[in-house]
Amino acid sequence: MQSLGDPSAVRKSVLPNGIRVLTEAVPQFTSATLGLWVENGSAYEPPELNGISHFLEHIFFKGTERRTAKDIAESIDAVGGILNAFTGKEYTCYYAKVLREDLPLALDVLSDLFLNSTFAEEEIERERGVILSEISESEDTPDDHIHVVFDRAFWPGHPLSLPITGTAQTVSAMRREHFVQFMRERYRPDRVIICAAGAVDHDWLVDQIGQAFAGLEGTTPRVNLAQAEAKPSLSLIERELEQVQMVLGVPGLSNVDDRRYAAYVMNTALGGGMSSRLFQEVREKRGKAYTISSFLASFHHTGYLAVNAGLGAESVVEVIEVVRDELQKLARSGLEAGELARAKSQIKGTILLSLESSESRMSRIAKNEMYFGRNIEPAAVAEAITNVSHDDVVGVARELFSDRMGVALLGDVADVKIDESMLSPC
């Protein structure tokens, strides 16, 4: 396998106020991606403020003491760069990708957003309308909304069950003082990670960040999240649609579980591409779904493995039975030698391809820091994937597929009849 990078390329420094700065220098790149990560997302929100992390992400771009919203957009557009942000259940990231000579500009813009956003009342109201439209659009997009339906049913009452965007009710109730207070509590240096990958000099970046963020102080109050208890159930949402959207899942592994590599391999073989078991059986052999795949959703302390598909109402029962049968086969017999080798090769190829992107590199080192507190080199991941055995896959499959499956269906499901016995894979 070709080289997966120089282990000495990733460097870490901790500023006096607690901000962690990590870089991965790739001298041959002409670009760099800089990301400001906050270990905060929808899982850390009280129910009445569900969606505030995502709302906050939006209004960061609506003006600072030095820049208008238009100034912010034009500053990076003018150099051909990318400026964006995203919110997850456990983190929020603000990032910019620029040419190497424009990295000082990217840092200036991102630090300005982070430290000097004004949260003007009129901008909050304007963006509230944008987010309410985003929520409505998601609800009108079945293949997106089905995941919200599944999460709510799978972890009832836990913050992980709540949508990242919040709801129309919670977003409508948020006021400027909520954002200011949330920033004071959650956006403290001990929860901030600043990462850069590509054409970047570590010592220069540490010096610049140290100057820009010297005034940010304090620590974040500890949030003791209750253990998410999965309660797999059957959720049928009737809606007039051309297709039924389905998510079927079982309790899975956390991001830091030692068995995650075996789960990666198993998931790839199950539904990780056109050659996977589910795609071949459901789409190619039976023609029962246009799309079908499986995925792992993993967090600090929990996770799930799920299958999602778009299919006709008349095929729902058959496809659930096929998925159940495939899970049973994995728990009973694991993977054939060719499947095992193919899944490993597919994952390692994905790792190699990701190294061509400064965004992917930046994201990888940030998530390693958040979840492991250390860098895990791509070569180490590739080696762990190589070492996954048939018995490892069987062991994970038997544990994960010993529980009841949760199923969420959205569409014309009034006449769909599902026997509860179908939801027990083993």
Q: How far apart are alpha carbons 45 and 56 in whole angstroms?
A: 12
Taking every pair of Cα atoms in the chain, the longest distance, rounded to a whole number of angstroms, is 64
Residues 22, 10 contacting (CB under 8 angstroms): yes
CA angle at residue 280 from 391 to 340, to 5 degrees?
25
Q: How far apart are alpha carbons 310 and 265 in whole angstroms?
A: 24
What is the end-to-end Cα distance of the chain in Å, rounded? 38
Long-range CB pairs of 135-140 (<8 Å, 24+ gap) are: 135/163, 135/165, 135/166, 135/167, 135/168, 135/171, 136/168, 138/163, 138/165
Extract the runs of DSSP E, i.e. beta strands, from 186-238.
Answer: 192-198, 234-238
Residues 379, 7 contacting (CB under 8 angstroms): yes
What tokens does 151 get? Answer: 């999460």
Provide the annotated active-site residues: 57
What tokens does 76 get? Answer: 């990076």
Q: Is 195 helix (H, G, I), strand (E, B) or coil?
A: strand
C-alpha torsion sign, points 409, 149, 364, 112:
positive
Query: What strands lie across the sheet with 234-238, from one edge to the other?
Result: 234-238, 406-411, 244-251, 303-311, 289-298
Alpha helices, H only, 79-155: 103-116, 121-139, 142-154
Extract the runs of DSSP E, i.e. beta strands, from 288-390.
Answer: 289-298, 303-311
CA angle at residue 93 from 220 to 383, to 5 degrees?
100
Q: How far apart are alpha carbons 18 and 87 in whole angstroms?
A: 22
Of 307, 386, 314, the residue nearest 346 (C-alpha): 386
